[in-house]
Protein backbone atom coordinates (compact mmCIF):
# COMPACT_ATOMS: atom_id res chain seq x y z
CA UNK A 1 0.00 0.00 0.00
CA UNK A 2 2.88 2.26 0.85
CA UNK A 3 4.54 1.67 -2.54
CA UNK A 4 1.24 2.09 -4.38
CA UNK A 5 0.72 5.52 -2.81
CA UNK A 6 4.28 6.52 -3.67
CA UNK A 7 3.78 5.46 -7.28
CA UNK A 8 0.62 7.52 -7.49
CA UNK A 9 2.44 10.60 -6.21
CA UNK A 10 5.27 10.12 -8.71
CA UNK A 11 2.81 9.67 -11.58
CA UNK A 12 0.89 12.80 -10.53
CA UNK A 13 4.08 14.84 -10.40
CA UNK A 14 5.17 13.58 -13.82
CA UNK A 15 1.84 14.48 -15.43
CA UNK A 16 1.89 17.90 -13.74
CA UNK A 17 5.40 18.52 -15.03
CA UNK A 18 4.35 17.62 -18.57
CA UNK A 19 1.30 19.95 -18.40
CA UNK A 20 3.43 22.77 -16.97
CA UNK A 21 6.09 22.28 -19.62
CA UNK A 22 3.44 22.33 -22.36
CA UNK A 23 1.97 25.57 -21.02
CA UNK A 24 5.39 27.23 -20.77
CA UNK A 25 6.37 26.06 -24.26
CA UNK A 26 3.18 27.41 -25.81
CA UNK A 27 3.56 30.69 -23.98
CA UNK A 28 7.14 31.10 -25.18
CA UNK A 29 6.12 30.22 -28.72
CA UNK A 30 3.36 32.83 -28.68
CA UNK A 31 5.75 35.38 -27.27
CA UNK A 32 8.30 34.50 -29.95
CA UNK A 33 5.72 34.91 -32.71
CA UNK A 34 4.60 38.20 -31.20
CA UNK A 35 8.21 39.41 -31.04
CA UNK A 36 8.76 38.43 -34.67
CA UNK A 37 5.63 40.30 -35.73
CA UNK A 38 6.64 43.35 -33.75
CA UNK A 39 10.14 43.14 -35.16
CA UNK A 40 8.76 43.09 -38.74
CA UNK A 41 6.53 46.09 -38.05
CA UNK A 42 9.40 47.91 -36.40
CA UNK A 43 11.73 47.28 -39.34
CA UNK A 44 9.05 48.54 -41.75
CA UNK A 45 8.52 51.65 -39.63
CA UNK A 46 12.28 52.26 -39.46
CA UNK A 47 12.58 52.06 -43.26
CA UNK A 48 9.72 54.55 -43.69
CA UNK A 49 11.32 56.82 -41.12
CA UNK A 50 14.69 56.63 -42.87
CA UNK A 51 13.05 57.66 -46.15
CA UNK A 52 11.32 60.62 -44.51
CA UNK A 53 14.55 61.65 -42.78
CA UNK A 54 16.41 61.48 -46.10
CA UNK A 55 13.83 63.72 -47.76
CA UNK A 56 13.77 66.15 -44.85
CA UNK A 57 17.56 66.29 -44.86
CA UNK A 58 17.52 67.52 -48.45
CA UNK A 59 14.93 70.16 -47.58
CA UNK A 60 16.82 71.33 -44.49
CA UNK A 61 20.08 71.62 -46.46
CA UNK A 62 18.37 73.76 -49.07
CA UNK A 63 16.68 75.93 -46.45
CA UNK A 64 19.98 76.34 -44.57
CA UNK A 65 21.65 77.64 -47.74
CA UNK A 66 18.77 80.00 -48.41
CA UNK A 67 18.80 81.21 -44.78
CA UNK A 68 22.51 82.02 -45.01
CA UNK A 69 21.89 84.10 -48.12
CA UNK A 70 18.94 85.84 -46.45
CA UNK A 71 20.83 86.70 -43.24
CA UNK A 72 23.72 88.10 -45.27
CA UNK A 73 21.50 90.73 -46.90
CA UNK A 74 21.85 94.39 -45.93
CA UNK A 75 19.96 95.21 -42.78
CA UNK A 76 17.93 97.95 -44.45
CA UNK A 77 16.51 95.47 -46.98
CA UNK A 78 15.22 93.25 -44.21
CA UNK A 79 13.79 96.21 -42.34
CA UNK A 80 12.06 97.59 -45.43
CA UNK A 81 10.28 94.31 -45.99
CA UNK A 82 9.26 94.07 -42.30
CA UNK A 83 8.89 90.33 -42.31
CA UNK A 84 6.86 88.91 -39.47
CA UNK A 85 5.35 85.56 -38.64
CA UNK A 86 1.60 85.17 -38.69
CA UNK A 87 -0.26 83.38 -35.92
CA UNK A 88 -0.43 79.60 -36.20
CA UNK A 89 -4.10 79.86 -35.32
CA UNK A 90 -4.85 80.77 -38.95
CA UNK A 91 -3.78 77.80 -41.08
CA UNK A 92 -4.85 79.54 -44.28
CA UNK A 93 -2.58 82.52 -43.72
CA UNK A 94 0.79 82.71 -45.56
CA UNK A 95 3.98 82.09 -43.60
CA UNK A 96 5.14 85.71 -43.87
CA UNK A 97 3.58 89.06 -44.53
CA UNK A 98 4.95 92.30 -45.95
CA UNK A 99 3.83 95.69 -44.81
CA UNK A 100 1.10 96.70 -47.26
CA UNK A 101 2.32 100.25 -47.83
CA UNK A 102 5.63 98.78 -49.00
CA UNK A 103 3.85 96.66 -51.60
CA UNK A 104 1.46 99.43 -52.66
CA UNK A 105 3.80 102.20 -53.76
CA UNK A 106 1.69 104.49 -55.92
CA UNK A 107 4.30 106.99 -57.07
CA UNK A 108 6.65 104.75 -59.02
CA UNK A 109 6.44 104.97 -62.81
CA UNK A 110 6.63 101.74 -64.78
CA UNK A 111 7.26 102.52 -68.45
CA UNK A 112 6.37 99.93 -71.07
CA UNK A 113 9.14 99.59 -73.66
CA UNK A 114 7.87 98.14 -76.94
CA UNK A 115 10.55 96.82 -79.30
CA UNK A 116 9.61 97.04 -82.97
CA UNK A 117 11.15 96.55 -86.39
CA UNK A 118 9.17 95.79 -89.52
CA UNK A 119 5.75 94.68 -88.32
CA UNK A 120 2.97 97.16 -89.23
CA UNK A 121 0.51 95.15 -87.16
CA UNK A 122 2.21 96.61 -84.11
CA UNK A 123 -1.10 98.46 -84.10
CA UNK A 124 -2.66 95.35 -82.53
CA UNK A 125 -0.15 95.40 -79.66
CA UNK A 126 -0.45 99.14 -79.05
CA UNK A 127 -4.24 99.05 -79.12
CA UNK A 128 -4.23 96.32 -76.48
CA UNK A 129 -1.80 98.21 -74.23
CA UNK A 130 -3.80 101.44 -74.53
CA UNK A 131 -7.09 99.65 -73.96
CA UNK A 132 -6.03 98.16 -70.62
CA UNK A 133 -3.66 100.87 -69.38
CA UNK A 134 -5.25 102.33 -66.22
CA UNK A 135 -2.98 105.37 -65.88
CA UNK A 136 -1.02 107.04 -68.69
CA UNK A 137 1.28 108.84 -66.25
CA UNK A 138 2.18 105.74 -64.25
CA UNK A 139 2.61 103.56 -67.38
CA UNK A 140 4.13 105.66 -70.18
CA UNK A 141 4.54 103.67 -73.41
CA UNK A 142 7.80 104.06 -75.33
CA UNK A 143 8.18 102.43 -78.74
CA UNK A 144 11.72 101.79 -79.96
CA UNK A 145 12.01 100.95 -83.66
CA UNK A 146 14.90 99.33 -85.50
CA UNK A 147 15.06 98.63 -89.27
CA UNK A 148 13.64 102.01 -90.42
CA UNK A 149 10.71 100.15 -91.95
CA UNK A 150 8.53 102.94 -93.35
CA UNK A 151 5.12 101.24 -93.08
CA UNK A 152 5.76 100.34 -89.44
CA UNK A 153 7.11 103.82 -88.70
CA UNK A 154 3.94 105.37 -90.13
CA UNK A 155 1.77 103.30 -87.78
CA UNK A 156 3.87 104.21 -84.74
CA UNK A 157 3.81 107.92 -85.61
CA UNK A 158 0.03 107.85 -85.72
CA UNK A 159 0.12 107.05 -82.00
CA UNK A 160 2.96 109.41 -81.10
CA UNK A 161 1.26 112.30 -82.92
CA UNK A 162 -1.76 111.69 -80.71
CA UNK A 163 0.54 111.79 -77.64
CA UNK A 164 -0.34 108.21 -76.76
CA UNK A 165 3.21 106.87 -77.04
CA UNK A 166 6.78 108.16 -77.18
CA UNK A 167 8.60 107.16 -80.36
CA UNK A 168 12.37 106.58 -80.46
CA UNK A 169 14.48 105.10 -83.26
CA UNK A 170 17.62 103.00 -83.21
CA UNK A 171 20.25 105.20 -84.90
CA UNK A 172 22.70 102.40 -85.73
CA UNK A 173 21.35 100.65 -88.83
CA UNK A 174 24.72 99.31 -89.99
CA UNK A 175 25.28 95.65 -90.68
CA UNK A 176 26.65 93.97 -87.54
CA UNK A 177 29.89 92.02 -87.61
CA UNK A 178 28.94 88.35 -87.52
CA UNK A 179 31.35 85.48 -86.83
CA UNK A 180 32.05 83.04 -89.69
CA UNK A 181 29.29 80.50 -90.13
CA UNK A 182 26.64 82.63 -88.38
CA UNK A 183 25.56 84.87 -91.26
CA UNK A 184 22.06 83.36 -91.25
CA UNK A 185 21.71 84.44 -87.61
CA UNK A 186 22.47 88.10 -88.33
CA UNK A 187 19.00 89.07 -87.12
CA UNK A 188 19.82 87.95 -83.58
CA UNK A 189 22.83 90.30 -83.57
CA UNK A 190 20.62 93.21 -84.62
CA UNK A 191 18.07 92.39 -81.92
CA UNK A 192 20.71 92.31 -79.18
CA UNK A 193 22.07 95.67 -80.36
CA UNK A 194 18.55 97.11 -80.42
CA UNK A 195 17.86 95.91 -76.87
CA UNK A 196 21.06 97.56 -75.68
CA UNK A 197 19.99 100.85 -77.27
CA UNK A 198 16.43 100.72 -75.98
CA UNK A 199 17.31 99.81 -72.40
CA UNK A 200 20.02 102.48 -72.25
CA UNK A 201 17.42 105.01 -73.32
CA UNK A 202 15.05 103.89 -70.56
CA UNK A 203 17.58 103.91 -67.73
CA UNK A 204 20.15 106.49 -68.84
CA UNK A 205 18.19 109.02 -70.90
CA UNK A 206 14.73 108.84 -69.32
CA UNK A 207 16.17 107.77 -65.95
CA UNK A 208 13.39 105.36 -64.98
CA UNK A 209 13.89 102.96 -62.07
CA UNK A 210 12.25 99.94 -63.72
CA UNK A 211 10.81 98.88 -67.07
CA UNK A 212 8.25 96.46 -68.51
CA UNK A 213 9.56 95.05 -71.80
CA UNK A 214 7.35 93.74 -74.60
CA UNK A 215 7.71 93.19 -78.32
CA UNK A 216 5.46 94.25 -81.17
CA UNK A 217 3.78 90.85 -81.55
CA UNK A 218 2.26 90.45 -78.10
CA UNK A 219 -1.33 90.66 -76.92
CA UNK A 220 -1.75 91.58 -73.25
CA UNK A 221 -4.34 90.41 -70.73
CA UNK A 222 -6.80 92.83 -69.08
CA UNK A 223 -4.89 92.59 -65.76
CA UNK A 224 -1.43 92.97 -67.36
CA UNK A 225 -0.77 96.30 -65.67
CA UNK A 226 -2.18 95.23 -62.29
CA UNK A 227 0.11 92.22 -62.34
CA UNK A 228 3.30 94.21 -62.92
CA UNK A 229 2.37 97.12 -60.65
CA UNK A 230 1.69 94.79 -57.74
CA UNK A 231 4.81 92.65 -58.15
CA UNK A 232 7.17 95.62 -58.57
CA UNK A 233 7.94 96.12 -54.88
CA UNK A 234 8.42 92.40 -54.44
CA UNK A 235 11.02 92.48 -57.22
CA UNK A 236 12.62 95.61 -55.79
CA UNK A 237 12.96 94.32 -52.23
CA UNK A 238 13.73 90.61 -52.62
CA UNK A 239 17.36 90.18 -53.78
CA UNK A 240 16.64 86.56 -54.70
CA UNK A 241 14.43 87.83 -57.55
CA UNK A 242 15.72 89.44 -60.73
CA UNK A 243 12.68 89.64 -62.99
CA UNK A 244 8.91 89.36 -63.23
CA UNK A 245 7.50 87.75 -66.36
CA UNK A 246 3.97 87.65 -67.75
CA UNK A 247 4.66 84.39 -69.59
CA UNK A 248 4.20 80.69 -68.79
CA UNK A 249 6.13 78.51 -71.25
CA UNK A 250 3.76 75.63 -70.46
CA UNK A 251 0.68 77.83 -70.51
CA UNK A 252 -1.48 75.80 -72.89
CA UNK A 253 -5.14 75.60 -71.90
CA UNK A 254 -4.71 71.85 -71.33
CA UNK A 255 -1.82 72.39 -68.90
CA UNK A 256 -3.10 75.18 -66.63
CA UNK A 257 -5.93 75.51 -64.14
CA UNK A 258 -8.41 77.56 -66.15
CA UNK A 259 -11.03 77.53 -63.38
CA UNK A 260 -9.05 78.64 -60.32
CA UNK A 261 -5.52 79.35 -61.53
CA UNK A 262 -5.80 82.98 -62.58
CA UNK A 263 -4.45 84.17 -59.20
CA UNK A 264 -1.62 81.63 -58.99
CA UNK A 265 1.98 82.86 -59.19
CA UNK A 266 5.23 80.89 -59.10
CA UNK A 267 8.93 81.44 -58.70
CA UNK A 268 10.99 80.14 -61.63
CA UNK A 269 14.70 79.64 -62.25
CA UNK A 270 14.03 79.84 -65.98
CA UNK A 271 14.08 83.29 -67.58
CA UNK A 272 10.82 83.37 -69.61
CA UNK A 273 10.89 86.70 -71.47
CA UNK A 274 7.82 87.61 -73.57
CA UNK A 275 6.63 90.45 -71.34
CA UNK A 276 9.02 90.99 -68.44
CA UNK A 277 10.10 93.57 -65.89
CA UNK A 278 13.54 94.43 -64.49
CA UNK A 279 14.96 97.20 -62.32
CA UNK A 280 17.62 99.80 -63.03
CA UNK A 281 19.80 98.11 -60.44
CA UNK A 282 19.87 94.95 -62.54
CA UNK A 283 20.57 96.92 -65.71
CA UNK A 284 23.58 98.53 -64.01
CA UNK A 285 24.88 94.99 -63.62
CA UNK A 286 24.04 93.73 -67.12
CA UNK A 287 24.82 96.70 -69.34
CA UNK A 288 28.65 96.54 -69.19
CA UNK A 289 28.65 92.94 -70.40
CA UNK A 290 25.60 92.94 -72.70
CA UNK A 291 26.10 90.32 -75.45
CA UNK A 292 26.46 90.85 -79.19
CA UNK A 293 23.72 88.28 -79.95
CA UNK A 294 21.34 85.69 -78.51
CA UNK A 295 20.60 87.94 -75.54
CA UNK A 296 17.80 85.76 -74.10
CA UNK A 297 19.93 82.60 -73.84
CA UNK A 298 22.72 84.76 -72.45
CA UNK A 299 20.35 85.92 -69.71
CA UNK A 300 19.74 82.28 -68.77
CA UNK A 301 23.42 81.55 -68.17
CA UNK A 302 24.35 81.03 -64.49
CA UNK A 303 26.86 83.88 -64.52
CA UNK A 304 23.98 86.27 -65.22
CA UNK A 305 21.22 84.58 -63.24
CA UNK A 306 23.34 84.04 -60.12
CA UNK A 307 20.75 81.71 -58.54
CA UNK A 308 18.09 84.40 -58.77
CA UNK A 309 14.53 83.65 -59.80
CA UNK A 310 11.71 85.26 -61.77
CA UNK A 311 8.03 85.43 -60.87
CA UNK A 312 5.68 83.99 -63.48
CA UNK A 313 1.92 83.34 -63.55
CA UNK A 314 -0.02 80.10 -63.90
CA UNK A 315 -1.99 81.65 -66.79
CA UNK A 316 -0.01 83.93 -69.11
CA UNK A 317 -0.66 87.67 -69.21
CA UNK A 318 0.81 87.90 -72.72
CA UNK A 319 0.31 85.91 -75.92
CA UNK A 320 2.34 86.08 -79.10
CA UNK A 321 0.74 86.37 -82.52
CA UNK A 322 4.07 86.79 -84.35
CA UNK A 323 4.58 83.61 -86.32
CA UNK A 324 6.86 85.41 -88.80
CA UNK A 325 10.07 86.78 -87.34
CA UNK A 326 13.78 86.20 -86.90
CA UNK A 327 13.16 82.73 -85.48
CA UNK A 328 11.10 81.79 -88.58
CA UNK A 329 8.18 80.56 -86.50
CA UNK A 330 10.23 78.20 -84.33
CA UNK A 331 7.83 76.49 -81.87
CA UNK A 332 4.91 78.65 -83.01
CA UNK A 333 2.68 76.13 -84.78
CA UNK A 334 3.61 73.35 -82.38
CA UNK A 335 3.41 75.26 -79.14
CA UNK A 336 3.26 79.06 -78.91
CA UNK A 337 -0.07 79.57 -80.63
CA UNK A 338 -1.75 77.36 -78.01
CA UNK A 339 -0.68 79.47 -75.02
CA UNK A 340 -3.76 80.69 -73.18
CA UNK A 341 -4.16 84.38 -72.38
CA UNK A 342 -5.84 85.12 -69.05
CA UNK A 343 -9.43 86.31 -69.47
CA UNK A 344 -10.51 86.55 -65.82
CA UNK A 345 -8.92 89.77 -64.52
CA UNK A 346 -7.36 89.76 -61.07
CA UNK A 347 -6.87 92.89 -58.98
CA UNK A 348 -3.41 91.96 -57.74
CA UNK A 349 -3.27 95.07 -55.56
CA UNK A 350 -5.69 93.26 -53.25
CA UNK A 351 -3.61 90.07 -53.18
CA UNK A 352 -1.22 89.28 -50.36
CA UNK A 353 1.95 88.38 -52.25
CA UNK A 354 4.09 87.72 -49.20
CA UNK A 355 4.12 83.99 -49.90
CA UNK A 356 6.32 84.76 -52.91
CA UNK A 357 9.18 85.86 -50.65
CA UNK A 358 11.87 83.20 -50.98
CA UNK A 359 12.13 82.24 -47.31
CA UNK A 360 8.41 81.49 -47.17
CA UNK A 361 8.00 80.10 -50.65
CA UNK A 362 10.85 77.59 -50.67
CA UNK A 363 9.92 75.95 -47.39
CA UNK A 364 6.25 75.53 -48.26
CA UNK A 365 6.72 74.61 -51.92
CA UNK A 366 9.45 71.99 -51.51
CA UNK A 367 7.82 70.39 -48.49
CA UNK A 368 4.53 70.13 -50.41
CA UNK A 369 6.03 68.62 -53.55
CA UNK A 370 8.11 65.97 -51.81
CA UNK A 371 5.24 64.91 -49.57
CA UNK A 372 3.13 63.86 -52.58
CA UNK A 373 2.65 60.30 -53.84
CA UNK A 374 4.87 59.29 -56.76
CA UNK A 375 3.17 58.16 -59.99
CA UNK A 376 4.20 57.57 -63.60
CA UNK A 377 3.78 60.01 -66.47
CA UNK A 378 1.83 57.43 -68.47
CA UNK A 379 -0.67 56.98 -65.63
CA UNK A 380 -1.12 60.75 -65.39
CA UNK A 381 -1.67 61.02 -69.12
CA UNK A 382 -4.33 58.29 -69.14
CA UNK A 383 -5.65 59.32 -65.70
CA UNK A 384 -5.56 55.70 -64.52
CA UNK A 385 -3.97 53.79 -61.61
CA UNK A 386 -3.76 57.00 -59.59
CA UNK A 387 -4.28 56.93 -55.81
CA UNK A 388 -6.78 59.77 -55.47
CA UNK A 389 -7.92 63.03 -57.04
CA UNK A 390 -5.30 65.24 -55.40
CA UNK A 391 -1.87 66.44 -56.57
CA UNK A 392 0.84 63.93 -57.49
CA UNK A 393 4.56 63.87 -58.24
CA UNK A 394 6.44 62.38 -61.18
CA UNK A 395 10.10 61.73 -60.36
CA UNK A 396 12.88 62.12 -62.91
CA UNK A 397 16.54 61.18 -62.48
CA UNK A 398 18.13 62.37 -65.72
CA UNK A 399 17.55 64.81 -68.53
CA UNK A 400 16.27 61.99 -70.72
CA UNK A 401 13.69 60.79 -68.18
CA UNK A 402 12.45 64.37 -67.84
CA UNK A 403 12.20 64.79 -71.61
CA UNK A 404 10.30 61.51 -71.96
CA UNK A 405 7.77 62.52 -69.31
CA UNK A 406 7.43 66.06 -70.70
CA UNK A 407 6.77 64.80 -74.23
CA UNK A 408 4.21 62.34 -72.93
CA UNK A 409 2.33 65.12 -71.13
CA UNK A 410 2.66 67.77 -73.85
CA UNK A 411 5.15 70.07 -72.06
CA UNK A 412 8.10 71.86 -73.58
CA UNK A 413 10.97 69.48 -72.93
CA UNK A 414 14.09 71.55 -73.60
CA UNK A 415 16.68 72.81 -71.12
CA UNK A 416 18.58 76.09 -71.18
CA UNK A 417 21.78 76.18 -69.13
CA UNK A 418 20.57 73.06 -67.37
CA UNK A 419 17.20 74.52 -66.36
CA UNK A 420 13.88 73.10 -67.66
CA UNK A 421 11.33 75.66 -68.79
CA UNK A 422 9.35 77.04 -65.81
CA UNK A 423 11.49 74.93 -63.46
CA UNK A 424 12.17 75.94 -59.87
CA UNK A 425 14.76 73.81 -58.07
CA UNK A 426 14.14 71.43 -60.95
CA UNK A 427 10.40 71.22 -60.23
CA UNK A 428 7.94 71.88 -63.07
CA UNK A 429 4.27 72.39 -62.19
CA UNK A 430 1.36 71.75 -64.57
CA UNK A 431 -2.37 71.09 -64.26
CA UNK A 432 -3.53 68.07 -66.25
CA UNK A 433 -6.78 66.11 -66.24
CA UNK A 434 -8.12 68.12 -63.31
CA UNK A 435 -5.16 67.61 -60.97
CA UNK A 436 -1.92 69.37 -60.10
CA UNK A 437 1.14 67.45 -61.32
CA UNK A 438 4.75 68.16 -60.37
CA UNK A 439 7.69 66.83 -62.36
CA UNK A 440 10.41 66.81 -59.72
CA UNK A 441 13.99 65.58 -59.54
CA UNK A 442 14.74 62.70 -57.19
CA UNK A 443 15.29 63.59 -53.55
CA UNK A 444 19.10 63.31 -53.80
CA UNK A 445 19.20 66.03 -56.46
CA UNK A 446 21.95 68.54 -55.61
CA UNK A 447 21.35 71.27 -58.18
CA UNK A 448 21.30 72.03 -61.87
CA UNK A 449 23.63 70.06 -64.09
CA UNK A 450 24.90 72.62 -66.60
CA UNK A 451 25.50 69.86 -69.14
CA UNK A 452 21.69 69.75 -69.43
CA UNK A 453 21.61 72.55 -71.99
User: Which string of DSSP letters, residue by residue, matches 376-440?
Assistant: -HHHHHHT-S-SSSS-EEEEE-SHHHHHHHHHHHT----EETTEETT-BTTBEEEEETTEEEEEE
Quote helix, strand, coil % in the chain, to nearest 5. 45, 15, 40
State the catalytic residue, choosing from 80, 257, 296, 449: 296
Task: Assess if residue 12 is contained within a domain.
Answer: no
pLDDT in tens, 49-67: 454 454 455 445 554 554 4
For position 240, what pLDDT does the model report?
A: 98
Task: Assess if residue 1 is contained within a domain.
Answer: no
Task: Assess if residue 61 is contained within a domain.
Answer: no
* b/e burial code for range 328-361 (CB count within 10 A of at least 16 → b): eeeebeebbeebbbbeeebebeebebbbbbbbbb
**Other CB atoms within 10 Å distance of the CB of residue 22:** 10
How far, in Å, CA of 158 to CA of 378, rounded?
53
For position 345, what pLDDT does the model report?
A: 97
For position 90, what pLDDT does the model report?
A: 34
For position 51, what pLDDT does the model report?
A: 46
Task: Assess if residue 29 is contained within a domain.
Answer: no
Decide: 331 and 291 in contact? Cβ < 8 Å: no
- Whichever domain contains 224, its CATH number is 3.90.550.10
Decide: 283 and 199 in contact? Cβ < 8 Å: yes
pLDDT reading at 329 higher than 80: no
Task: Assess if residue 348 is contained within a domain.
Answer: no
For position 84, what pLDDT does the model report?
A: 31
Are both 144 and 286 inside the same structural domain?
yes
Longest CA–CA span in the chain (Å) reads 140
For position 97, what pLDDT does the model report?
A: 38
pLDDT reading at 100 higher than 50: no
CA 281 to chain centre: 22
Are both 282 and 403 inside the same structural domain?
no
Active site residue 296: yes
Task: Work out the pLDDT band at 322, boundaries 50, 70, 90.
Answer: confident
Are both 381 and 337 inside the same structural domain?
no
Average pLDDT over residues 142-167: 97
Decide: 402 and 413 in contact? Cβ < 8 Å: yes
Average pLDDT over residues 34-57: 51
Decide: 221 and 316 in contact? Cβ < 8 Å: yes
Are both 252 and 317 inside the same structural domain?
yes
Number of domains in the chain: 2
From 320, 341, 362, the end of a domain falls on: 341
Average pLDDT over residues 32-36: 53
Task: Work out the pLDDT band at 107, boundaries 50, 70, 90.
Answer: confident
Are both 289 and 168 inside the same structural domain?
yes
pLDDT in tens, 237-283: 999 999 999 999 999 999 999 999 999 999 999 999 999 999 999 99
Domain boundaries, position 416: 372-441
Are both 182 and 249 inside the same structural domain?
yes
pLDDT reading at 386 higher than 80: yes
Amino acid sequence: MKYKRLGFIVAFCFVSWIVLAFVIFNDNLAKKNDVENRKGSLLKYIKELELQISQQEQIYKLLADRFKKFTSRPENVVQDMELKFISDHDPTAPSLTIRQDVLQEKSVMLPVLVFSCNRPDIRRSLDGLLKYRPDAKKFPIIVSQDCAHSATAKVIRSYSDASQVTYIQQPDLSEPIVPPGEAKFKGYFKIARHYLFGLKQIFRTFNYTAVIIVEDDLDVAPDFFSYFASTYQLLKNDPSLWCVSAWNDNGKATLVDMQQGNELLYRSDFFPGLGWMITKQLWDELEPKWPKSYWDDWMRRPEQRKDRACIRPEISRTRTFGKIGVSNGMFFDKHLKYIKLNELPVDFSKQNLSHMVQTAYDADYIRLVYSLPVVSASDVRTNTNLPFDGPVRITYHTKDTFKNAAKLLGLMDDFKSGVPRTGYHGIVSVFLNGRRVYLAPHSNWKGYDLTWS
